[in-house]
Structure 1
Amino acid sequence: MKIALLGTGFGQAHAAVYAGRKDVDDVVVFGRTPEKLKKISDQFGFATTTDLDTLIADSSVDLVDICLPTDLHVDIAVRALEAGKDVLCELPLAASMDDAQRVIAAQQASGRQVFVDMFARFSPVNEHIAQAIADQPYGPLRTWESEVRTALLWEGYDLRLDSLVMDTMHTDLDLFATALGRPESITVHGIQGKDRGSAAHVLLDYPGQVLVRCSASALMPASYGLGGGSRLAFAQGVLETEFTAGADGRGSTRLIEYTPSGRRTVELPERDVYAAVIDHVLACLAGKETSRITPESALDGLRITLDVRHRINEQA
């Protein structure tokens, strides 16, 4: 398999996964900055290019992996599909529902596959939570709170309210949508930092008296790094998570269960979620698995995210 990897920022995390796979024969990395391309080439031995048009048109490329800014996702995904390639697209899929539908239409016309990198769905902690909501071993869910707190760890990249919603809150909003569907109502509050950063709180009201809160802050000092967690209160128990991570998103998460019989740490397998996504994508392309991350499956989470962004922007 030959892969066109587009982007030298988050694309580095995908490059590290491809470098360890025996079933990937060739990777060509596209970027605009020769210095960044050289760094990836030196580290992984991959070929590089600044010519996107030629790379997408290359008949030997099987999969186009898009790790570029969100506003570039749709046009490049459509071009890749029209060129007969399968596509893995970094989240969020698109910046509007119309654009998301453009990708789906192009996929249907091409007969190729599109995967959205909803890596949080592959976390063992999130899989455990989703199972607990579905099977109700602790009774029905009552509240679900999630929080992400981060310093501005990426050189030259800010997180104002618009990008905070799309780039930081979207993964949790997708988890809510996947487990619970679309809420009955949404309430938002947000503030911009004086110079950089922002913070926001989102309340989602679901049928059956289920209340969900999603909070994010990019107002932390550099020494803070990245962290957060979640708390789910059920009728007969609580699940609580805590995570810490570095600028590449890799870190550790623990899950604690509280029930009337006591407190215990839930032991779960370690998993690199970025590698898990790529494992899944390649297995789907080989006909061994059915996709869990189709564009259609990402629509409800994207719709909630865009609704939150619209409401936040109205306040800003």
Structure 2
Amino acid sequence: MKIALLGTGFGQAHAAVYAHRPDVTDVVVFGRTPAKLEKFADDFGFATTTDLDALITDPSVDLVDICLPTHLHADTAIRAMQAGKNVLIELPLATTMDDAQRVIDTQHTTGRRAFVDMFSRFSPANAHLREAAEDQRYGALLSLETESRTALLWPGYDLALGSLAMDVMHADFDLVTSLLGAPDTVHVTGTEGPGGRGSAADVILGYPNATARCSASSLMPKPYAMRGGYRATFTGAVLEHVTTAGPTGQGISTLTAHSADGEHTINLPDTHTYTQVIEHVLACLDGREESRIDPTSALGALRLTLDVHDELTATRAAHQS
């Protein structure tokens, strides 16, 4: 299989996966900065190009992996599908619901496959939480708190208030909406670092019989890397997930159940979510699996993410005025 990998920012994590797959015979990386492309060539031995049109229309390309800035996701995916390619789109799917629908419509009209990199769906800790909520092994879910904290680990991504919801909080919103649905109320607060480098936000989501809080920060010092997790409070126990990771998402993850009987560590499979996503996409294209990350399934989380994004963008504008 030949992969067209678009983007040299978050594309690094995808490149690291493709480099170790024997079924991926060829990867060509598109970027606009020669120095960044040279690093990809040195680190992974991949071919590089600055000609996006030629790469998308290359008849030998099987999958276009889109890791470009978010505002380019929808148009690039549509162009690639119209050129006969299947696409993997880094999250979020699009910057508007209309653009997200255009991607879905193009998938239907072209017969091509589109996948959204909802990597958190492949987290073993998240899978355990979903199963526990579904079978109510700990009782009813009353409260869910998620937290994502990161340093500015990717050159060119300042993760200010104008991008925090889209680039950091979206995966947590996907977890919350998959468990509790669309919230009845949304309350958003945020602040920004000096010069718009880094930001922090808290989002309180109200439901008839539950509550959720999603917190995110990109104000951490570089050695902090990425840390986060969740705390899910059920009527009969509390599940607490803690994770640490670097720029590629690799790290350490622990899950603990706390109940009246004491504290119990839950063993998690040692898996890498980006690896699992790409394995899933290739298995779907090979007919071995049904997609868990089709664009339609991402719409609920995207709608909430865009609502929070609008609030944080307005907060940023108010701070700057």
TM-score range, shorter chain: over 0.9
Tell me, in whole angstroms, the C-alpha distance in 1 between the residues paired with 2:273 and 2:292: 13
C-alpha displacement at 1:193, in angstroms?
A: 1.9
Q: Which amino acid aligns with 2:150?
A: T
C-alpha displacement at 1:253, in angstroms?
A: 1.1
Size of the alignment, in residue pairs? Answer: 315
Tell me, in whole angstroms, the C-alpha distance in 2 between the residues paired with 1:87 and 1:224: 33
Tell me, in whole angstroms, the C-alpha distance in 2 between the residues paired with 1:55 and 1:85: 11
Instruction: Answer with 190-199 or 27-36: which moved more.
Output: 190-199
Instruction: State the SS of the aligned residue for 2:159.
Output: coil
The one-character-per-residue Cα deviations of 1:150-194 (angstroms, maximum 9, x if unpaired) are 222223321111211110101100111122211111111111223
Tell me, in whole angstroms, the C-alpha distance in 1 between the residues paired with 2:150 and 2:56: 35
Check 1:128–1:38 CA distance in 2 against 1; reply closer, same or farther (3 A cut): same
Partner residue, 1:155: 155
Tell me, in whole angstroms, the C-alpha distance in 2 between the residues paired with 1:285 and 1:267: 31
- Asked whether 1:166 is paired with 2:166, we answer yes
Partner residue, 1:146: 146
Q: Map residues 150-299 of structure 1 onto 2, 5 A cutoff.
A: 150-195=150-195, 196-207=197-208, 209-299=209-299
TM-score (norm 2): 0.95
Tell me, in whole angstroms, the C-alpha distance in 2 between the residues paired with 1:221 and 1:73: 29
The one-character-per-residue Cα deviations of 1:265-293 (angstroms, maximum 9, x if unpaired) are 10011101111000000000000100000
Tell me, in whole angstroms, the C-alpha distance in 1 between the residues paired with 2:149 and 2:17: 26
CA RMSD in angstroms comes to 1.1
Tell me, in whole angstroms, the C-alpha distance in 2 between the residues paired with 1:190 and 1:5: 33
The one-character-per-residue Cα deviations of 1:78-118 (angstroms, maximum 9, x if unpaired) are 00000010000000010110010010111110001000000
- Asked whether 1:307 is paired with 2:307, we answer yes
Instruction: State the SS of the aligned residue for 1:95.
Output: coil
Tell me, in whole angstroms, the C-alpha distance in 2 between the residues paired with 1:28 and 1:155: 21
Stretches of structure 1 lacking an aligned partner (at least 5 in a row): none
Partner residue, 1:54: 54
Tell me, in whole angstroms, the C-alpha distance in 1 between the residues paired with 2:168 and 2:282: 26
Tell me, in whole angstroms, the C-alpha distance in 1 between the residues paired with 2:168 and 2:297: 19
Tell me, in whole angstroms, the C-alpha distance in 2 between the residues paired with 1:224 and 1:42: 27
CA contact (8 A) 2:237 2:257 kept: yes
Tell me, in whole angstroms, the C-alpha distance in 2 between the residues paired with 1:139 and 1:215: 25
The one-character-per-residue Cα deviations of 1:181-236 (angstroms, maximum 9, x if unpaired) are 111111111112233221110011123x2100000112222332221221010000
Partner residue, 1:35: 35
Partner residue, 2:22: 22
Instruction: State the SS of the aligned residue for 2:201.
Output: strand
Tell me, in whole angstroms, the C-alpha distance in 1 between the residues paired with 2:10 and 2:108: 28
The one-character-per-residue Cα deviations of 1:11-46 (angstroms, maximum 9, x if unpaired) are 121112112112112111111111211211122222
Tell me, in whole angstroms, the C-alpha distance in 1 between the residues paired with 2:276 and 2:225: 24
CA contact (8 A) 2:233 2:239 kept: yes
Tell me, in whole angstroms, the C-alpha distance in 1 between the residues paired with 2:24 and 2:199: 40
Q: Which amino acid aligns with 2:107?
A: Q
Instruction: Answer with 222-231 or 144-153: which moved more.
Output: 222-231
Q: Which amino acid aligns with 1:67?
A: C
Partner residue, 1:44: 44
CA contact (8 A) 2:147 2:215 kept: yes
Tell me, in whole angstroms, the C-alpha distance in 2 between the residues paired with 1:147 and 1:20: 31
Instruction: State the SS of the aligned residue for 1:156.
Output: coil
Instruction: State the SS of the aligned residue for 1:310.
Output: helix
- Asked whether 1:102 is paired with 2:110, we answer no
Check 1:21–1:222 CA distance in 2 against 1; reply closer, same or farther (3 A cut): closer
Instruction: Answer with 293-302 or 159-168: which moved more.
Output: 159-168
Q: Which amino acid aligns with 1:197?
A: G
Runs ≥4 residues deviating over 3 A:
none
Partner residue, 2:319: none
Identity %: 60
